[in-house]
Amino acid sequence: MKVVTARAVLADRFTHARQFEDMRQCGTHNLTPVDILTAGFSCQHISIAG
C-alpha cells in the first residue's frame, strides 16, 4: 500500500506552492504578498478523530 502525504498531494496539485520543512522558516522575509485568504470551517466537532 502506498502512503500519500498531504505534502505530496499539495506538490502534485499546486506545483507553484512553496513548502517549508519547518514553520519557523516561514515569515515576512520570505513570503509573497497575497490578495485573499480563505479557509473552511473548523471540523473538530464533527470529526471522528476529535
Q: Going residue by residue through the chain (50 aa), what tens digit of pLDDT does each one get?
A: 788 888 899 999 999 988 888 888 888 898 888 899 887 766 767 777 65
DSSP track, 8-48: HHHHHH-TT----SSGGG-STTT----S--------TTT-T
Domain boundaries, the chain: 1-50
pLDDT at residue 50, rounded to an integer? 58
pLDDT at residue 3, rounded to an integer? 80
Say if residues 38 and 44 touch (Cβ distance below 8 Å): no
**Burial of 31 by CB count in 10 Å (0-12 exposed, 13-18 middle, 19+ buried)?**
exposed
pLDDT at residue 20, rounded to an integer? 87
